[in-house]
Amino acid sequence: MVAFAQRFFLVALGLVAFLHASAQQLGVFEGQQDIGSAARPGTATYAAATQQYVVTGSGANVWGEHDELHYVYKKLTGDFILYARAALVGRGVEPHRKMGWMVRQSLASNSPQVCVAVHGDGLTSLQYRRTAGAATAETQAAITHADVVQLERVGTTFTMRVAQFGQPFVTAQVADLDLGAEVYVGLFVCAHNAAVTEKATFSDVRLVVPAPASLVPYRQYLGSHLELLELATGKRDIIYSAPVSLQAPNWRPDGKSLIYNSDGLIYNFDLATRRPSVLPTGDVKNNNNDHVLSFDGKQLGLSSGVEALGGSIGYIVPATGGQPRQLTPRGPSYLHSWSPDAKHLLFTGERNQNFDIYRVPAAGGPEVRLTTAAGLDDGPEYTPDGQYIYFNSNRNGPMQIWRMRADGSQQQAVTSGDYQDWFPHVSPDGKWLVFISFLKEEVPASDHPFYKHVYLRLLPIGGTGQPKVIAYLYGGQGTINTPSWSPDSKRLAFISNSADAR
């Protein structure tokens, strides 16, 4: 009996280990299975090194009164945003093989469901079944061959957002689709032919839990992902997650670490160990996300709230930490950039009830006003050659990116005003401009709040044409407030947000 009990324990232990390993292999998902009758079993695997999922599936169709597919899933409650870059592999057999995101009430083949389906022939659509066994309805997207797919639930409304990478989203929506409080969410592949198996890859997969309507801004915060973005491919890599608010990563010039703020403190994040440590700033411990490293990486400008002096005050501290030296006499003053020779800093200051851009000597001295237009001017940053300053301004209505000479002359708009564009950052090689764009339907021109649908967009310096979207994310305030280019101009660091950042 003892021997049997030992064997039973070892078998059970092995089963637990197997289930744990299987869960690890599925990344953020909990399970996988074929839905409906599948002559050829499907599979789903996750490669942690590349953060990519590969899903194969058979099945006759996702349509009509029931579905046949392979599904990798997780249970979620409440509102959520599902995001991925996705692609079918190879030429395929059937033009209507399909893959994408799916939300189901159950794992039964005739379950009510909604999905974003990208077909082999490029057709991209929002498909949904309202009740068990009912016919499937469809709203086709205005584009084809989408490789960026997003599905969002807010209450009983589901919104499809799809794009060809580099372009803004196009949307479609279905309302009053009640799938229940707890649902299955996941990735699917259907071959549209029960005799064959098709394959799709999914990268940059994100399950985002957005801010509730009851969230109090600047008092309550969501969790954070610290991400790195590769410019050449658009690939995103989550390198650190925390259940608290991390904001505004700066990349040190030696390329070995980042600096960000959280809960009033400044942190150094070691890229080799992927661990943060507090950077000492003396008794200045109310630091916000307007902190900036000098071009040579030796000094750090801080912006820290001091209520008695009118708000945010600018300070300078050695980049290794120490006791800061006060730079601006009164607030609000938000530091944004050093001059390349480290002799001056730029800040956004509110003086005479108007926010403008000012220059101040690093050694201390009188501030010089560089912009005078009515409205909000913010986010100033020198080009690496010191000849120009880029900034954002809503003087014409929408928030746009602007450029001026270092002395404040020749001010001109750079972006068109299709979005609310904030915080321009020039690449170290002086060739590119990246900035964050809020949607006009979500955010007024005078605000850059937390927890919104935003784009990171890229534009050649002095170039023409439309900016390219290089990241689609849920974030906003704190995402990219400060210069966050890698020293080789090949990567960016930024923050995305979710209520579940584990």
Position 344 scores a pLDDT of: 98
CA distances from 258 to 214, 293, 486 (A): 32, 10, 9
The 3 state secondary structure assigned to 25-64 is: HCCCCCEEEEECCCCCCCEEEEECCCCEEEEEECCCCEEC
Q: Whose CA is closest to 336, among 296, 306, 303, 367?
A: 303
Distance CA 245, CA 225 (A): 9
Query: For residues 468 and 466, what is the distance between their CA atoms, to the nearest angstrom?
Result: 6
The domain segmentation of the chain, as residue ranges, is: 32-208, 223-498
**Contact indicator for 460, 424 with CB cutoff of 8 Å:** no
CATH class of 223-498: mainly beta
Q: Are 34 and 69 in contact (CB under 8 A)?
A: yes
C-alpha to C-alpha distance for 492 and 501, rounded to whole angstroms: 20
Taking the chain (502 residues) in runs of 10, the rounded mean pLDDT of each run is 38 36 73 90 95 97 97 97 98 96 98 98 98 98 98 98 98 98 98 96 97 95 98 96 97 97 98 98 97 98 97 98 97 98 98 95 97 97 98 98 98 96 98 98 97 98 88 98 97 95 38
Q: Which amino acid is at 46?
A: Y
Q: Is the pTM of this model over 0.75?
A: yes
pLDDT at 38: 72
Identify the helix (H) or strand (E) that includes residue 18.
helix 2-25
How is domain 32-208 classified at the architecture level of CATH? Sandwich (2.60)
At residue 331, the pLDDT reads 95
pLDDT on residue 101: 98
Which residues touch 37 (CB under 8 Å, ≥6 apart)? 68, 109, 194
The predicted structure's pLDDT at residue 500: 75
